[in-house]
Structure 1
């Protein structure tokens, strides 16, 4: 049988390119956390996460090399300062692995569904399985340490029911049906995701000196706090307990462990995944008040993300993804 030389498709090139950038960023952050980490229960999970990120980098380098595709610059040792004092306590490092792998499962799941070439599909399938395994390990350790806040509980259904009235979506004035299990899930994880973002912002605001970037982080923190307050108030109105954060305090360090470029790029990534997850929540919400809020929120996050995009472009920090040739220009040459 003749072996065909199948070229990489645009989703395969774009998917690998994106993972490469994200993994170089993760390596910087994980190396910094590990440099200061004292907890011997948390350390193995971070070491495993770092090893997997480095393995993924090597695999992508091999694929791109065979295809003569230039590697992105990504992030390097120049983007971390290991001599800076610890900015976060050990529990935040565990929360970081949990949060990044939870979001990683979403990104890798999308990418896996768009690729076909055997070696690329194999890469994404294994990466998704490894990310899921790390998510499970970090979740179990958070549970054992008492820092995993479980989602709201509801009574088990006793029978199968069908929606009988339009008011299931559009409630009469002053009368809204109780939240269903799917809606509660999205609300809980939105709150959890934004508590992580608030802690991240609190730490970075102490160390960032650049006024434009500092204001950008402050705006991001305000946006996260706004979401937390809205959804906690909603849960309380439904006679459900609001989500209370477990204290994972930031240290008093004022020395930045990360380059400004890495910090803004991290926010750029978090904004991207946040829009994806809120869009998912919007698609599942069957109450008009929720759908309306999610729609408005997507617009606010996109407006905020544009500010970060402009900072990166103006400072020449944003690498351009591989793109199709300009056929019109080629025809005119």
Structure 2
């Protein structure tokens, strides 16, 4: 008597919480990016920027399609995210063409940071391959954006510094001083963090200025104006720190907002964008804090984090109140199951 050997089935390694959280978060962000790029491309006329924006759109759509395929294969609900319903293509151009280039530059700069962090938390190989691909495409797009910005003269390079003559080691605990009395010069790491915090806040100011110009809801408008002021205060603080070191502060090259007062974006899209910018600000200011070795910088960063977190809380309350914040996937509530 013979027995038929059971058919061997491929092992299905289910998505873990890190893969679910990473894919879900990127889907939400990419659906938001798609809305902005769709609107920008509708008005874009600069022949040099159009191909780059089209490439950025193609990458964004490809990421959305791949994440959707991951979720469908796992019978996992695809996030709602954002759609064409969140943009108004009939609205006049709100930002000049060069802002599209700034947008692509900043989104890919932040994307490199986010994708690297997310990839390091993933162990399912197909998902890891996806995030590695995201890192590669964001790095390429960042480079292309920088090159074009340099060609157009709208990229403000990080400050230069003289090369040291020799290797030195810290010999005094006074290396950490800075709150009172004399301060040592900024080191290369602290200087670069200050520069990129200024750059990121300039981007936020331009975004917020455009939003504030077109929003009709007074409660939302007041919140946006408050966020713009927080970014402006950070710019002023960091520029003052640079000038105290006899380093030139960074300045905006051009005003990138038009005179339009018709909103091309839904209030949901606007507030969700601000919610993400708040999260990025807290993350990167915290990163700068962890690398700073002068007490005055530590004090400044600590104060900024507290202020941004208070603002982020009010922004969060607003999007929850309006039912605009899509809930990330939750773990099973075991306690509730047992009680029922």
Global fold match (TM > 0.5):
yes
**1:136 maps to 2:166:** no
Alpha-carbon distance in structure 1 between the residues aligned to 2:67 and 2:32:
15
Shift in Å, 1:250:
1.1
- Uncovered stretches (5+) of structure 2, i.e. residues with no partner: 1-7
Correspondence list, 1:105-124, <5 A: 105-124=112-131
Of 212, 215, 219, the residue aligned with 1:208 is 215
Of 10, 13, 21, the residue aligned with 1:3 is 10
- Uncovered stretches (5+) of structure 1, i.e. residues with no partner: none
How has the CA–CA distance of structure 1 residues 265 and 172 changed in structure 2, closer, same or farther, with 3 Å as cutoff?
closer
SS in 2 for 1:63: helix
Of 228, 245, 258, the residue aligned with 2:252 is 245
The alignment of Structure 1 onto Structure 2 pairs a total of residues equal to 333
Q: Which structure's CA Rg is the greater one?
A: 2
**1:66 maps to 2:73:** yes
Shift in Å, 1:172:
8.0
**1:18 maps to 2:25:** yes
Mapped contact 1:91–1:248 kept (Cα < 8 A): no
Alpha-carbon distance in structure 2 between the residues aligned to 1:115 and 1:3:
21
Mapped contact 1:92–1:248 kept (Cα < 8 A): no
**Deviations 1:210-235, CA, capped at 9 Å, x for gaps:** 01110110010010000000011111
**Deviations 1:225-260, CA, capped at 9 Å, x for gaps:** 000000111111111101111113311101000000
Mapped contact 2:179–2:296 kept (Cα < 8 A): no
Per the alignment, residue 303 of structure 1 pairs with 310
Mapped contact 1:6–1:117 kept (Cα < 8 A): yes
Mapped contact 1:97–1:135 kept (Cα < 8 A): yes
Mapped contact 2:179–2:295 kept (Cα < 8 A): no
Alpha-carbon distance in structure 1 between the residues aligned to 2:48 and 2:90:
24
Of 46, 54, 61, the residue aligned with 2:61 is 54
Of 313, 316, 327, the residue aligned with 2:334 is 327
**1:161 maps to 2:163:** no
Q: Which moved more, 1:140-149 or 1:168-177?
A: 168-177
Per the alignment, residue 4 of structure 2 pairs with none
Q: Which moved more, 1:78-87 or 1:248-257?
A: 248-257
Correspondence list, 1:97-112, <5 A: 97-112=104-119
**1:186 maps to 2:203:** no
Alpha-carbon distance in structure 2 between the residues aligned to 1:140 and 1:157:
29
The RMSD of aligned alpha carbons is: 1.1
Q: Which moved more, 1:70-79 or 1:163-172?
A: 163-172
Alpha-carbon distance in structure 2 between the residues aligned to 1:250 and 1:121:
39
Superposition TM-score, scaled by structure 1 size: 0.98
Alpha-carbon distance in structure 2 between the residues aligned to 1:332 and 1:254:
54
How has the CA–CA distance of structure 1 residues 81 and 158 changed in structure 2, closer, same or farther, with 3 Å as cutoff?
same
Alpha-carbon distance in structure 2 between the residues aligned to 1:138 and 1:83:
27
Per the alignment, residue 3 of structure 2 pairs with none
Q: Which moved more, 1:247-256 or 1:11-20?
A: 247-256
**Deviations 1:126-177, CA, capped at 9 Å, x for gaps:** 0111011101100110011100001111001111100011110024842000
Mapped contact 2:275–2:316 kept (Cα < 8 A): yes
- Which portions of structure 1, spanning 4 or more consecutive aligned residues, are displaced by more than 6 angstroms? none
Superposition TM-score, scaled by structure 2 size: 0.96
Q: Which moved more, 1:7-16 or 1:198-207?
A: 198-207
Mapped contact 1:183–1:285 kept (Cα < 8 A): yes
Shift in Å, 1:206:
1.1
Correspondence list, 1:238-317, <5 A: 238-317=245-324
How has the CA–CA distance of structure 1 residues 23 and 171 changed in structure 2, closer, same or farther, with 3 Å as cutoff?
closer
Alpha-carbon distance in structure 2 between the residues aligned to 1:157 and 1:100:
34
SS in 1 for 2:326: coil
Mapped contact 1:236–1:242 kept (Cα < 8 A): yes
